Amino acid sequence: MSTSNRPKARLPRGFRDRTAGDIAAERAALDTIRRVYESYGFEPLETPAFEFTDALGKFLPDLDRPNEGVFSLQDDDKQWLSLRYDLTAPLARYVAENFQNLPKPFRRYQVGQVWRNEKPGPGRYREFTQFDADTVGSSSPAADAELLMMTADTLDALGLKGEYVIKINSRKLLDGVLEAAKIDPSRRGTVLRAIDKLDRLGEGGVRELLGAGRKDESGDFTKGAELDDDQIARVLEFTKLGGTAGEFRPRLAKIAGFLDRAGDAARDLDEIIGYCRKSGYEAGRILIDTSIIRGLDYYTGAVFEAQLTFPVKNEQGEAVVFGSVAGGGRYDGLIARFTGQQVPATGISIGVSRLLSALKERNNSVLSPLVVVLALEDVSRSFEMARALRAAGIRAEAYVGTKKFGDQLKYADKRGAAIAVIEGSEERAQGIVTLKDLALGAELAKSIDTRAEWVKDRPAQIAVKREELISQIRAMLGGRGM
Please state, for a pLDDT cut of 90, what percent of the chain lies above it.
40
Q: Flag whether pLDDT at 453 surpasses 70.
A: no
Could you tell me the residue ranges of all domains in the chain?
Answer: 20-171+259-361, 370-480
Least confident of 40-49, 94-103, 274-283, 356-365: 356-365
Q: What phi-psi label fits residue 330: left (phi over 0), alpha (psi between -120 and 50 degrees) or beta?
A: beta
CB atoms within 10 A of CB 473: 24
Which of the two residues, 126 and 317, has the higher pLDDT score? 126
Bridge pairing between strands 319-330 and 213-215:
unpaired
Span 58-86, pLDDT tens digits: 766 544 443 568 888 888 888 999 999 99
Rg (CA), the chain: 28
CATH superfamily of this structure's domain 370-480:
Anticodon-binding domain (3.40.50.800)
pTM: 0.77
Least confident of 95-104, 309-318, 334-343: 309-318
Nearest to 120, CA basis, from 62, 173, 178: 62
For residue 225, the SS3 value is: coil
DSSP letter, residue 316: T
Predicted confidence band at 458 (pLDDT cuts at 50, 70, 90)? very low
CB atoms within 10 A of CB 223: 11
Q: Flag whether pLDDT at 272 surpasses 90.
A: yes
Give me the pLDDT at residue 181, please. Answer: 85
Distance, CA of 100 to CA of 318 (rounded, Å): 54
CATH superfamily of this structure's domain 20-171+259-361:
Bira Bifunctional Protein; Domain 2 (3.30.930.10)
Span 134-172, pLDDT tens digits: 999 999 999 999 999 999 999 999 989 999 999 999 998
Span 334-343, pLDDT tens digits: 999 999 989 9
Bridge pairing between strands 286-288 and 302-313:
unpaired
Least confident of 21-25, 171-175, 455-459: 455-459
Which of the two residues, 356 and 146, has the higher pLDDT score? 146
Q: Does an H or E element contain 214, and which?
A: strand 213-215
Give me the pLDDT at residue 343, please. Answer: 94
Give me the pLDDT at residue 363, please. Answer: 57
Give me the pLDDT at residue 407, please. Answer: 87
Predicted confidence band at 118 (pLDDT cuts at 50, 70, 90)? confident
Residue 216: phi and psi, rounded to 5, are -85, -175
User: Is residue 408 within 8 Å of residue 399, measured between CB atoms?
Assistant: yes
Residue 62, classified by CB atoms within 10 Å of its CB into exposed (0-12), middle (13-18) or buried (19+), is: middle
Predicted confidence band at 315 (pLDDT cuts at 50, 70, 90)? low
Distance, CA of 175 to CA of 48 (rounded, Å): 34
Span 207-253, pLDDT tens digits: 999 998 898 877 788 888 889 898 898 888 888 886 666 677 777 77
E strand residue ranges, 399-431: 419-422
Q: Which residues contact 67 (CB under 8 A, 6 or more apart)?
A: 117
User: Is residue 116 within 8 Å of residue 62, measured between CB atoms?
Assistant: yes
Give me the pLDDT at residue 456, please. Answer: 47
Query: Average pLDDT, whole number, for the chain?
Result: 84
Q: What phi-psi label fits residue 323: left (phi over 0), alpha (psi between -120 and 50 degrees) or beta?
A: left
Average pLDDT over residues 420-440: 88
Cα separations (Å) of 13 from 61, 119, 124, 127, 311? 20, 9, 10, 10, 28
User: Is residue 405 within 8 Å of residue 376, measured between CB atoms?
Assistant: yes
Span 389-424, pLDDT tens digits: 999 999 999 999 877 888 888 888 888 888 999 998
Give me the pLDDT at residue 448, please. Answer: 41
Please state, for a pLDDT cut of 70, what percent of the chain lies above it.
86
Nearest to 78, CA basis, from 53, 105, 103, 95: 53
Least confident of 43-47, 202-206, 459-463: 459-463
Q: Which long-range contacts (CB under 8 A, 24 or more apart) does 226-232 make?
A: 226/187, 227/181, 227/183, 227/187, 227/191, 230/181, 231/181, 231/182, 231/183, 232/207
Average pLDDT over residues 284-310: 89
Give me the pLDDT at residue 143, please. Answer: 96
